[in-house]
Structure 1
Amino acid sequence: MSKIDVMDVAGRQLWLMKSEPDVYSYDDLVAEGEGTWDGVRNHLAARNLRSMAAGDLAFFYHSNIGKAVVAVATISVPGLIDPTDPEGKWAAVKVKPVAKLVRPVTLAEIKATEALAQMDLIRLSRLSVGAVRPDEWALILDMAGGPV
């Protein structure tokens, strides 16, 4: 895995990307080494994918099962057309694993933390790719005990 400093967010956009772990987990991404984030069919989430740049960081969130931020990934190749979209209208990016968190930060913990009440994860709960502010990023990493 990469030696990216997940606390050095200067010049990077920060994201949270949801995936059902029984469909595609962080461990699956690690096994692949680099994965394509595709299949997103929400306009705001697709706009977020189009806004990503190489080197941006993203929390990897396991949805439905676990409901927790479990790891950090980095955007390796931005600006792709979703290969699962026959019409070529939807966006995709490639991502690489960076590090698991010392411990997952659950949705319940995030909801119980007033400083995180305005996160896209909370306000736009069905959004699969959302922005994360630097203060939210730092707080979640602190809650997790940092990356492994």
Structure 2
Amino acid sequence: MRYWLFKSEPDTWGWPAQVAKGAAGEEWDGVRNYQARNFMREMRLGDRGFFYHSQSDKAVVGIVEVIKEAHPDSSTEDPRWECVDIKALRPFAQPVSLAMIKENPRLAEMPLVKSPRLSVQPVTEEQWQIICAMGATEA
């Protein structure tokens, strides 16, 4: 299993909207960055991801699971763009803010810290464990 981070503006698509989709989940559509698209192409069923609220909150707020591997993005006719489907698994007991992540020297190499604009990013197993612990949430 691999780990990822999915960034979304909470006013556009927030954690409550993801949870409301239930077991059916939702496409992680609208990504128009080649590197982020390529990361989605690497995802496999069962991979886990952090759901991260960007903009105002700037915090990891939940855990999602990949339930459908890369396929054409239904929000465009352009065949270059693909997406995965994800479903909400559980919220974080305590959101983990970007400030908290930046304060932890063991997380200094995270793409979230080094490439903060990338909307889909890989997370190492060690980073996953650390952030889950920081959020008092089962990994």
- TM bucket normalised to smaller: over 0.9
Distance 2:7 2:75 in 1: 18
Name the aligned partner's letter for residue 19 of structure 1: S
Distance 1:35 1:79 in 2: 13
Unaligned runs of 5+ in 2: none
How far did 1:102 drift? 0.5
Name the aligned partner's letter for residue 17 of structure 2: D
Aligned pair 1:143/2:134, yes or no?
Answer: yes
Distance 1:115 1:127 in 2: 20
**Among 32, 37, 43, which residue is 1:52 paired with?**
43
Number of matched pairs: 136
Seq. identity, %: 38
Name the aligned partner's letter for residue 26 of structure 1: W
How far did 1:127 drift? 0.4
Name the aligned partner's letter for residue 121 of structure 1: L
Distance 1:75 1:146 in 2: 19
**Where does 1:1-148 land on structure 2 (aligned, <5 Å)?**
12-33=1-22, 34-147=25-138
Distance 1:119 1:82 in 2: 27
Distance 1:58 1:38 in 2: 15
Distance 1:39 1:79 in 2: 13
Structure 1 runs of 4+ with >4 Å offset? none
Unaligned runs of 5+ in 1: 1-11
Name the aligned partner's letter for residue 47 of structure 2: D
Of the structure 1 ranges 84-93 and 128-137, higher mean CA displacement relative to structure 2 is found in 84-93
Name the aligned partner's letter for residue 114 of structure 1: P
TM-score, normalisation: structure 1 = 0.90
